[in-house]
Amino acid sequence: MLEELARLSRSPLGNPTRLAIALYLLSRERATFVSLRKALKLTAGNLEFHLKTLEEAGIVRTYYGFGRRPRKFVEITEEGIEELREVLKILREVTGDD
C-alpha cells in the first residue's frame, strides 16, 4: 500500500483540487474557465494555479475561443485521461474497492 500511495503523491492528480478538475473535465471533455471555477467553487487565482500545474504536466490544455466575447476553455488531454485512469486504479487498490 505504501508503494501505491507514493505513486499517487508523485502524480499531479494526487492533489484533491486537481483530481476534481480532471474528473469534471472527463465527463464534459471541455469547459469554460468560468464554468469550471463556479462548479468547483474556486477563486480565479486558485484555479489558474492548478491549471498551470496540470497544463505543464500535459494533463489539460487551455485555449481561447471567440464568440460574442473571448472565453478561456479547458479540456482534458489523452495523456490526462490515461493519468486519471491510473490514479483511479491506485485509489481503488488503496481503498480495497475493486
Residue 6: pLDDT band with limits 50, 70, 90: confident
Q: How far apart are CA 67 and CA 4, in angstroms?
A: 45
pLDDT of the residue at 40: 98
Domain tally, the chain: 1
Q: What is the mean pLDDT of the chain?
A: 92
Domain that holds residue 69: 2-95
Query: What's 34's domain CATH number?
Result: 1.10.10.10
Let me know how many helices (H) and strands (E) the chain has, helices first: 5, 3
